[in-house]
């Protein structure tokens, strides 16, 4: 009979090491596959949550639009939160008539706006003149202004036409990204008014009015905050509309009486205007899992303030926060 010879000890050791290395390699491959699978599951869940948040935000925009139409454009600027099935959405409503129109505002009002946001006086004057030159149709530069020859080669120069969107401010000579980020909530191209409606204007816009008396302004802002609950209240279907209109009219009368009037600041006001209301609706949604999404829309109601409306802008705003001029 032939005898089976056993392997030498050193060869058995090599075989054992090879088996261990193979097992280790297989374990690493399995761990890698499991990790990749977990990443894909998380990525899918994140995409789903983002889609839910986006849908919530867009639902918030349409809820606000429904309210504006139901109240015939009389909805006062405000913020409120709606609880929906998949999360919450915080809605902020701004009336464009309370903002400074880049196409219609006189340079003095623009200069006051820039100074209120930290621009030095001489630079604010030059920037306001550059805005005026950017939007006018002539090619003659105003004093301290800027026409094509004052811009860097290849920049496009002055537009010599109306602003179509507020972010065109970034093309104006002297404008910075940080300054624009602070100005964006305060300016518009949709009000078509040379001044602001002080009853609807944000506090920061009112503080930008040149030479406004600070004591008068603080009293007005205090009065407006006290009366805000009446102005922002939803109509009560159980009460007569006439009674609601009477209360609101009384409040508006009190606000008119409290308006700052010293130093001829009324020339910057646009009261009792007949322009159709334009609203910016901002909706920030948060899902139950914490995903966030923000949507903005700019909407103009029909002149009769009833059922028809026009979507002017539909956007996802920037989230960057910049400081400095």
Domains of the chain: 102-175 (1.10.40.60)
pLDDT tens track, the chain, 325 positions: 555 555 565 666 677 778 788 888 888 888 877 777 777 777 777 788 889 999 999 999 999 999 999 888 889 999 999 999 889 999 999 999 999 999 999 999 999 999 999 999 999 999 999 999 999 999 888 888 999 999 999 888 999 999 999 999 999 999 999 999 999 999 999 999 999 999 999 999 999 999 999 999 999 999 999 999 998 988 766 665 555 678 888 999 999 999 999 999 999 999 877 788 999 999 999 999 899 999 999 999 987 655 688 999 999 876 433 333 3
Residue corresponding to tokens 């989230």: 319
pTM: 0.82
In degrees rounded to 5, what are phi and psi of residue 39? Answer: -60, -45
Which letter does DSSP use for residue 315 in this model? E
Which residues lie closer than 8 Å to 129 by C-beta, 6 or more apart?
107, 142, 143, 144, 145, 146
Give the strands of the sheet with 278-287, arranged side by side.
78-84, 87-95, 278-287, 292-301, 309-315
Distance (Å, whole) CA 113 – CA 198 = 14
């Amino acid at each position: 009979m032939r005898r089976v010879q056993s392997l030498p000890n050193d060869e058995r050791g090599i075989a054992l090491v090879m088996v261990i290395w193979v097992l280790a390699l297989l374990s690493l491959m399995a761990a890698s596959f499991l990790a990749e699978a977990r990443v894909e599951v998380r990525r899918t869940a994140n995409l789903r949550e983002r889609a839910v948040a986006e849908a919530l935000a867009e639902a918030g925009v349409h809820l606000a639009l429904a309210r504006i139409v139901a109240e015939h454009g009389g909805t006062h600027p405000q913020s409120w939160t709606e609880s929906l099935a998949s999360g919450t959405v915080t809605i902020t409503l701004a009336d464009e008539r309370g903002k400074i129109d880049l196409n219609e505002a006189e340079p003095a009002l623009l200069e006051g706006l820039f100074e209120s946001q930290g621009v030095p006086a001489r630079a604010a004057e030059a920037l306001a003149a550059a805005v005026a030159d950017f939007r006018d149709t002539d090619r003659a530069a105003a004093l301290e202004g800027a026409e094509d020859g004052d811009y860097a080669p290849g920049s496009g120069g002055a537009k010599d036409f109306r602003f179509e969107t507020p972010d065109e401010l970034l093309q104006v000579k002297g404008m910075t990204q940080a300054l624009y980020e602070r100005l964006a909530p305060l300016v518009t191209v949709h009000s078509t008014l040379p001044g602001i409606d002080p009853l609807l204007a944000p506090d920061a816009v009112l503080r930008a009015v040149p030479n406004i008396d600070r004591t008068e302004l603080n009293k007005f802002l205090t009065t407006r905050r006290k009366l805000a609950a009446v102005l922002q209240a939803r109509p009560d279907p159980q009460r007569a509309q006439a009674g609601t209109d009477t209360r609101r009219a009384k409040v508006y009368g009190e606000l008119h009486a409290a308006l700052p009037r010293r130093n001829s600041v009324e020339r910057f006001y646009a009261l009792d205007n007949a322009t159709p209301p334009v609203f910016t609706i901002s909706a920030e949604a948060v899902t139950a899992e914490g995903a966030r999404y923000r949507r903005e829309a700019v909407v103009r109601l029909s002149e009769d303030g009833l059922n028809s409306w026009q979507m002017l802008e539909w956007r996802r705003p920037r989230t960057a926060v910049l400081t400095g001029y």
